[in-house]
Structure 1
Amino acid sequence: MIFYAEDDPDDLETFKQVIEDLGREVLAFTNIRDLIHQMKNPPPDVAILFLDINMPVQTGLHALEIIRQSDKWNDLPVIMLSTANNHHYILESQQLGANLFIVKPNSYKKLRCALKYALTTDWKKRKVTVENFLYEPTL
């Protein structure tokens, strides 16, 4: 199951549409507290997690920190999403253990490309480097 934490209703709806278009299911959360609660109390189990960085109360970076402190979720692929192409966010996401950083594309087609990449990557074999951490869709 794909989990996604996002507080913006428009971004959330677009994400859900893309995931549905890709033939997958998503469970969405509008706050980090509910996300962490669900992860601790499955079903369903999370297979890949997408986190928006700018969330109220607790940020996606805070959630990433919590997740990476648990051995249970150490191998969980975590993809950070942000509208801000902010070097600080990118660097902190990588340092906290995210697998990929995607700057939210401004088109449905580019978002679909980015999410398809994230969903088809073999995260067990992919090594995170400075060069491959930031994903920028090319169309």
Structure 2
Amino acid sequence: MSTKPNKFIFLADDDADDCMLFEDALREVSTSTELTTANDGVELINLMETNVPPPPDVIFLDLNMPRKNGFECLEQIRKTKKWASIPVVIFSTTGQEEMVKKVHEQGASFFIRKPGSFPKLKQAIQQILDIDWSNHSWKPVAENLNYQY
């Protein structure tokens, strides 16, 4: 059993299948995490308002969601003082360079293109969980684009 403290993870994604796969992968990678999911950006912000503090250790954020998209959520998270330092990982099907650049400029902590296989999804989640966010800095855009599981 891991001696690491529990990590609280938020996932905002409107695709129910993606949420289930993420939850399954997270459970296989770490038993010491608690996942809270939101189906869209409005639900995520509502969760943030009712559940923070304590803040999640990391937020996985899809870009293409109804009602409030990932760009709008990221902007609101970065402008809200009590949430501003929470790591936000953009987790999207798009890997377009201009999108990656835009979320970086908006303050995203990391970008992962949604992987095409379950083992690669587990690998991506594990890598994010292993990051020491206090020492982490954004990786260059080109490196992120090639970093597609």
Q: TM-score, normalised by structure 2?
A: 0.85
5+ residue gaps in structure 2?
A: 1-7
- Correspondences of 1:104-123 after superposition (within 5 Å): 104-123=114-133
1:49 shift after superposition: 0.2
Aligned AA (1:27): T
1:71 to 81, 84, 101: 81
Superposed CA deviations along residues 44-100 of structure 1, whole A, max 9, x for unmatched, are 631210001110121111100000001211210100011111112101110000010
How far apart are the structure 1 equivalents of 2:35 and 2:104?
24
Q: How many residues align?
A: 138
8 Å Cα contact 1:80-1:101 kept in structure 2? yes
Report what 1:38 is aligned to.
Answer: 47
Q: Kindly indicate whether residue 30 of structure 2 is the aligned counterpart of residue 20 of structure 1.
A: no
Q: TM-score, normalised by structure 1?
A: 0.91
Match of 2:55, SS?
coil
Percent of residue pairs bearing the same amino acid type: 31
* TM superposition outliers: structure 1 runs of 4+ over 6 Å: none
Superposed CA deviations along residues 93-133 of structure 1, whole A, max 9, x for unmatched, are 10000010000010001111111111110011012242586
5+ residue gaps in structure 1?
A: none
